[in-house]
Amino acid sequence: MNKDYFDKITELEKMNVSEEYILGWQEGYQKSPKVEEQNLSDAYEAGYEDGENQSIDNAQKFKK
């Protein structure tokens, strides 16, 4: 992975964002398949979309 990826993950962790958002973000960033439908959540979906766009725009909404 690259520095941008690690910097954003570190920032998300410092922001105390939910694990579901971070997992979604990581998988979206890496273009991995989504988790099974029964395991999807709003936080995961938002993280996945932000990861695909390489942003953390919705992270504030999913703090623990």
Instruction: Tell me the pTM.
Output: 0.91
Domain boundaries, the chain: 3-62
Supply the pLDDT for residue 64. Answer: 87
Structure tokens belonging to residue 62: 């999913």
Supply the pLDDT for residue 38. Answer: 87
Supply the pLDDT for residue 1. Answer: 64
Supply the pLDDT for residue 39. Answer: 87
Which amino acid appears at position 45 of this protein?
A: E
Maximum CA pair distance of the chain? 32
pLDDT tens track, the chain, 64 positions: 689 999 999 999 999 999 999 999 999 999 999 989 988 999 999 999 999 999 999 999 999 8
